[in-house]
Chains A and B, each alone.
Chain A
Amino acid sequence: GAGVSQSPSNKVTEKGKDVELRCDPISGHTALYWYRQSLGQGLEFLIYFQGNSAPDKSGLPSDRFSAERTGGSVSTLTIQRTQQEDSAVYLCASSLRGKPSGGGGTDTQYFGPGTRLTVL
């Protein structure tokens, strides 16, 4: 597609419920990233996928968070047993490649519009 898309744009859920957030990266981009942004804060790295390699999960805040990427394209971020502190905007980004290239070209990250998650 023309850009990174995410769905839903907004999600309101009750504490303890599970939620799934979807990300559709730019076609042909091999690298995909999930970030979380709390109100007025910077972006917090969650997880990274590069091609068919094992994902880097070093940013996931707890074992309630998991993500998968099927077929090297669409990714789903799942939050189990949601808590109020999970409320944030979840942003997905993709880049043509994830390795340093010495420039700002092929590894520039393009962000989707985000999913605003509210846990009541």
Chain B
Amino acid sequence: GQSLEQPSEVTAVEGAIVQINCTYQTSGFYGLSWYQQHDGGAPTFLSYNGLDGLEETGRFSSFLSRSDSYGYLLLQELQMKDSASYFCAVRDGVNTGFQKLVFGTGTRLLVSP
């Protein structure tokens, strides 16, 4: 089976940097994705790591270490609009051959002025 662990909540102030960690256990692994979901909204894709290392997209970066089964999402220059839930998701395609996403329970980020 698969399981992912994330902190349930993180708080930070505007302009700060915050890191949201994700550890996973999977029977197969095809990469780690991050999704953002505002209250009442749909999850939206943020980033994907298929290989070890850092991927940077504007203020957001994501890191993966496959040997440690660990990744993180780094948000810089925090803005109030970044207050949302952030989900890590593992692609598991070993048994089914397709990209089923298994999601963590999410980290609620609260950004204060």
Chain A residues engaging chain B, CB cutoff 8 angstroms:
4, 31, 33, 35, 41-45, 48, 50, 56, 58, 91, 93, 95, 98-100, 102-104, 107-114
How big is the B interface, by class?
20 to 34
Q: A104 CA to B57 CA in the complex, in Å?
A: 13
User: Which residue of chain B has its CB nearest to the CB of A50?
Assistant: B98
Which residues of B come within 8 Å of A, CB atoms? 30-31, 33, 41-45, 47-48, 50, 87, 89, 91, 93, 96-106
Tell me the bound Cα distance from A42 to B91 in angstroms: 15
* Cβ-defined contact, B102 with A104, below 8 A: no
Number of residue pairs across A and B with beta carbons under 8 Å?
70
Least CB distance, B2 to chain A, in whole angstroms: 10
Contact A111 B48 (CB under 8 A): no
Complex: how many Å from CA A95 to CA B33?
Answer: 14
| Residue contact B104 to A100, C-beta cutoff 8 Å | no
Contact A48 B98 (CB under 8 A): yes
- The complex places the Cα of A110 from the Cα of B45 at a distance, in Å, of 7
